[in-house]
Amino acid sequence: AQTVTQSQPEMSVQEAETVTLSCTYDTSENNYYLFWYKQPPSRQMILVIRQEAYKQQNATENRFSVNFQKAAKSFSLKISDSQLGDTAMYFCAFTFSSNSGYALNFGKGTSLLVTP
Amino acid sequence: GAVVSQHPSRVICKSGTSVKIECRSLDFQATTMFWYRQFPKQSLMLMATSNEGSKATYEQGVEKDKFLINHASLTLSTLTVTSAHPEDSSFYICSARARARKVTEAFFGQGTRLTVV
C-alpha cells in the first residue's frame, strides 16, 4: 500500500519569510509522481508543483521548490518570500499507474498561516 | 484550458432522499474521472474511478449501491448519493484526466458541499 505522511498539522510563517513543509511517503513502486496541492478557503484544489520520480533534479515553480530525496522517500516543499495569499491547506500527494488509473493518494495536509 | 465544472456547489437535502452531483469537463475530453470525499479539516479520500462508457471502480469500503457513479460521456460524470443520511454530509470533489494531456495531470472541480438534514 502507498502511504503519504505529513507530520506538521499546522505551520505559521511571517510574510516574506521562507517555510518548509515536510512530506514522506512509502511505496514499492519505481515509477511514480509526487505533487503538492494547495487548498485555499475556497476549497478549490490548485496544483503547486509536481515531481517525476525518475528525475533527479528538484522541481521549481517560481517561489515554490521541492527537495526530493528518493532514497529517503522524502518530498518537502519550500515556499520562499511567503505571501498572505499562500495561506491555505497544503496536501502532498502521490500517484502511480494502478487499477485506479493514476488517482491521487493524499497526505493529511498541513495548514499554513502566513502572518503580516 | 482544462476547466472542470462541478454542480451544485452546495446542496441541502432531507434524509432518505437522493441527490445528484455533476462533474463536467468544459474544454477537454475526460477519459477518466475521479470522485473524492473530504471531511472537515481532513484529507481527500478517493471514492471511485470512472472511465467513459464503463463501470466505475470503487475503493474498498465505499458502497457502490449508495454512491452511484455514471460516466456516460467524455465530458460528464455524475455521482448520485442515494437514500442520503446525515453521515453522508461531506465535501465531494471530482477531478478529471484529459485525453490529450499527461496521464498524471488532474483537473479539479470546485467541489460540492452536501448537507443532509
Q: Tens digits of per-residue pLDDT, A77-111? A: 999 999 999 999 999 999 988 767 889 999 999 99
Interface mutation target, options B43, B94, B107, chain A, most CBs of A under 10 Å: B43
Residue B105 has pLDDT above 90, yes or no: no
Letter string b/e over residues B48-85, b meaning 16 or more CB atoms within 10 A of that residue's CB: bbbbbeeebbbbeebeeeebbbebeebbebbbebeebe
How would you classify the pairing of strands B19-25 and B4-7? antiparallel
Nearest one of B54, B69, B61, B97 to A95, comparing CA atoms? B97
Nearest-CA distance from B31 to chain A in Å? 10
Query: So what's the pLDDT on residue B72?
Result: 82
Chain B partners within 8 Å of A47 (Cβ): 106
Q: What average pLDDT does chain A have?
A: 94
Instruction: Enter the C-alpha cell of residue A103.
Output: 488517482
Asked if A104 lies within 8 A of B43 by C-beta distance, the reply is: no
Q: Is the pLDDT of residue B32 over 80?
A: yes
What's the pLDDT tens digit per position in B41-56? 889 999 999 988 888 9
Q: What is the pLDDT of residue A21?
A: 98
Residue B61, pLDDT > 70, answer yes
What pLDDT was estimated at residue A6?
97
Q: Does residue A9 surpass a pLDDT of 80?
A: yes
Distance from CA of A65 to the nearest CA of B (A): 19
The answer to whether B68 and B60 are in contact (CB under 8 A) is no
**A-chain residues near B46 (CB < 8 A):** 100, 103-105
- Determine the pLDDT at residue B100: 67
Return the residue of B nearest to A99 by Cα.
Answer: B57
Q: Helices (H), strands (E): how many in chain A?
A: 0, 12
Asked if A91 and B44 come within 8 Å (Cβ–Cβ), the reply is: yes
